[in-house]
Amino acid sequence: MRSMRGRLLGAWCAGLLLAGVSVVVGCRVADTDAVTPVPQLLAFLPWLIVPTGAAVVLSLLARWPAGPIWGTVVLGLLAWFVEPYGTGEQPDGPVLARLRVLTSNVEFGWATDALIPVVRRERPDIVFVEECEYTCQAAVAKELGAAYPHRQAVAGDSSVGSVILSRFPLTATAGVPGSMGMPGAVADVGGHAVRLQLAHPKPPLPRQVSLWKRELGRLRDFAARYENGPLVLAGDFNASQDHAAFRRVLGTGLRDAARLAGDDREPSWPSRTAPAFGAQIDHVLVSKDFSASGARFLHLDGTDHRALVVNITLHQG
């Protein structure tokens, strides 16, 4: 009798695990982010292999024949979606310019002191800094102003402030509206106009999923409208490749530089558990005019995000 009850309990536990994972995987198949808790779990889609595998083991121990079959189907779908996205050949036309881009969320400015020496060491040409509030913006202007004399910023406290630093001359342009600052500019890169846009939509917190979708939709609409030349859209997207709202941004023709450089699944958040566990939500997206190489995710003390630095090359179309 105890053995029977144990097998029944094991089958129920396996069924609950498989049902929960199946809902998330089903939303991935249906190309929708749905509602809480699906968007939050989609960020960690590859890690759902763990509860699925546990469910298969429980099913075998409970002698529940449907469990291993169900689990195998779910594991197959997870394996399919873990494959890299955004594949395609990089442009190989004549080189017009080579750039190094760095993006970093400094978490309410707390990682500003850690960011400054990293920028000096890595020597990026363009820096996108999210959650750079008043003190952060004053610090980067003072410490990095000589190397980066050109800046475009949205001033704000806490997570609202953001800034773009550039070695190249910048022309101010309208950014993308959002709850947090998303400034934009046009950089004169050796005579070539390159549109820069910082991305920082709201995260998909349980009561803010609609706002998160709306602000990612604004980034998608911006990218879809922009047809005037090279574009770099970079920052903390609060979304991974497994979110439908982020894939729709890519659907405008932009490509993820980390993916092009071979680091499509390297986690950028949360930094305390990366690279062993996490999600890649910090991205540098580029138009088809660019190739990319040498992507690296860097730890900064004081922030829950890893910085991303990547080399991009502008080609003649």
The predicted pLDDT at position 228 comes to 76
Residue range 34-50, pLDDT digits in tens:
999 999 999 999 999 99
The predicted pLDDT at position 1 comes to 57
The predicted pLDDT at position 86 comes to 55
The tokens for 239 are 């979304």
Flag whether pLDDT at 88 surpasses 70: no
Residue range 133-155, pLDDT digits in tens:
999 999 999 999 999 999 999 99
Cα dihedral 308, 310, 316, 317 sign: negative
Closest Cα partner for 232 from 102, 132, 95? Answer: 102
SS3 for 80-95 is HHHCCCCCCCCCCCCE
Is residue 53 within a helix (H) or strand (E), and if so which, with residue range? Answer: helix 49-62
The predicted pLDDT at position 84 comes to 65
Query: How much is the average pLDDT of 293-308?
Result: 98
Query: How much is the average pLDDT of 168-187?
Result: 97
**Least confident residue range of 7-11, 170-174, 190-194, 234-238:** 7-11
The predicted pLDDT at position 85 comes to 60
Q: Which residue has the higher pLDDT, 30 or 90?
A: 30
Count the residues in the chain. Answer: 317
- Helices 66-82 and 2-29 cross at an angle (nearest 10°) of 30
The predicted pLDDT at position 202 comes to 97
User: Is the pTM of the predicted complex or chain greater than 0.85?
Assistant: yes
Residue environment code for 179-209, b if the CB has 16+ CB neighbours within 10 A, otherwise e: ebbbbbbbbebeeeebbbbbbbbbbbeeebb
Ordered by where they begin, the domains of the chain are 2-82 (no CATH), 95-315 (3.60.10.10)
pLDDT band of residue 227 (cuts 50, 70, 90) is confident
Written as one string, the DSSP assignment of 178-231 is -SS---EEEEEETTEEEEEEEE-PPP--TT-HHHHHHHHHHHHHHHHH--SS-E
Query: How much is the average pLDDT of 262-290?
Result: 95
Instruction: Look over the chain and give the mean of its residue pLDDT values, rounded to a whole number.
Output: 95
217 vs 32: CA distance, rounded Å:
13
273 vs 254: CA distance, rounded Å:
29
273 vs 268: CA distance, rounded Å:
9
Closest Cα partner for 182 from 215, 224, 227? Answer: 215
**Least confident residue range of 1-5, 13-17, 301-305:** 1-5
The predicted pLDDT at position 49 comes to 96
Written as one string, the DSSP assignment of 267-296 is --B-TTTTTTS-B--EEEEE-TTEEEEEEE
What backbone phi and psi angles, to 5 degrees, belong to 137? Answer: -65, -35
**Least confident residue range of 15-29, 83-97, 128-142:** 83-97
Closest Cα partner for 309 from 133, 149, 128? Answer: 128
- Token pair 């509860």 is found at 51
